[in-house]
């Protein structure tokens, strides 16, 4: 199956990054969002990324022009009838994704593969909203998409070998390294990442170390490029609760910090949502992390912080 036109649902940080790498790989791209303002912001981000690459002499100015010329935007989901393959990169909300896939199943021709960039929602559950579960697959890019090399490819029990093979090869065409994950909540990346962030927050909460020291230990001691608290801010403080809500429901993890939604509701969603937040002091930033990273991968007994007992859950 030839992939010539590539669709992206969502022009936010993940969506515009996916659109950029697809266009850089030579595909015609249609990027959709619910408002033209969002599409314009997405294109502005892509332009800024490409300008940076030109300045660093990674691409030529002609390459930038060609990449931008391959991307069109739309607020009409019906335009996805023109694509051969698409990635949904909307907000991490199950009900929203279900409705999008129902619409896409109606709009897109039967041969079109419908993939999702979900961070945690089981692919089989999304596929069940369509009449083509064999052509539904997870294609989980990492943030920031143009920089990070990994794509998790997640097949449900209904995903066909053909769909999997096409998605795998497309990931490689984008210059990414694909890794296969089974269809469990959180897949591989977030099933491992979120417990680390969560335990870093508990270390801060219990006074095991200051925020700077926790991040320093993980950077210099474990050779991580950044500490878990800084990483939580980078990926967006609204995302861990959304991911872990799925894990709480499906894997019976216990909610650790229920004030998360209040903080996100106040607009303090971290660097991903508002880069000016990066100017906040580290201590304030990590208090936000403490409030937002919301689910423990351990059962925590109700007792004073200095007497918390952890046991495997």
Q: Which residues are catalytic?
A: 119, 140, 152, 190
Measured distance CA(37)–CA(271) in Å, rounded: 20
DSSP labels, 226-290? S-HHHHHHHH-TTHHHHHHHHHHHHH-PEE--TTHHHHHHTT---TTT-GGGGGS-HHHHHHHHH
Helical H runs in 60-120? 61-69, 94-107
Q: What does residue 138 show for φ and ψ, rounded to 5 degrees?
A: -90, 135
Q: Per-residue b/e over 157-180, b at no fewer than 16 CB within 10 Å?
A: ebbbeebbebbbebbeebebebbe
Measured distance CA(313)–CA(310) in Å, rounded: 9
Contact 152, 188 (CB under 8 A): yes
Instruction: With CA atoms as reference, report the closest residue to 78 among 101, 98, 39, 106.
Output: 106
Instruction: With CA atoms as reference, report the closest residue to 139 among 119, 125, 109.
Output: 119
Measured distance CA(171)–CA(18) in Å, rounded: 11
């Amino acid at each position: 199956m030839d992939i010539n036109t590539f669709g992206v649902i969502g022009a936010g940080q993940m969506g515009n990054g996916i659109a950029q790498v697809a266009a850089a790989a030579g595909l015609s791209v249609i990027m959709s969002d619910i408002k033209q303002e969002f599409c314009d912001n997405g294109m502005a981000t892509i332009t800024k990324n490409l300008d940076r690459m030109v300045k660093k002499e990674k691409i030529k100015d002609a390459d930038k022009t060609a990449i931008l010329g391959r991307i069109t935007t739309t607020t009409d989901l019906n335009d996805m009838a023109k694509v051969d393959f698409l990635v949904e990169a909307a907000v991490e909300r199950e009900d929203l994704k279900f409705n999008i896939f129902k619409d896409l199943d109606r709009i897109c021709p039967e041969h079109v593969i419908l993939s999702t960039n979900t961070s945690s929602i089981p692919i089989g559950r999304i596929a069940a909203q369509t009449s083509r579960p064999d052509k539904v697959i997870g294609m989980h890019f990492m943030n920031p998409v143009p920089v990070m090399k990994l794509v998790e490819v997640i097949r449900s029990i209904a995903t066909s070998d053909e769909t999997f093979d096409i998605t795998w090869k497309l990931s490689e065409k984008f210059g990414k390294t694909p890794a296969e994950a089974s269809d469990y909540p959180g897949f591989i990346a977030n099933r491992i990442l979120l417990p680390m962030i969560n335990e870093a927050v508990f270390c801060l909460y219990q006074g095991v170390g200051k925020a700077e020291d926790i991040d320093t230990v993980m950077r210099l001691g474990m050779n991580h490029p950044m500490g878990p608290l800084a990483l939580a801010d980078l990926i967006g403080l609204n995302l861990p609760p959304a991911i872990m809500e799925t894990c709480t429901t499906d894997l019976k993890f216990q909610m650790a910090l229920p004030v998360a939604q209040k903080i996100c509701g106040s607009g303090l969603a971290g660097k991903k949502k508002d880069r000016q937040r990066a100017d906040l002091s580290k201590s304030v930033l990590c208090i936000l992390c403490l409030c937002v990273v919301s689910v423990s991968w351990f059962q925590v007994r109700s007792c004073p912080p200095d007497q918390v007992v952890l046991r495997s859950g």
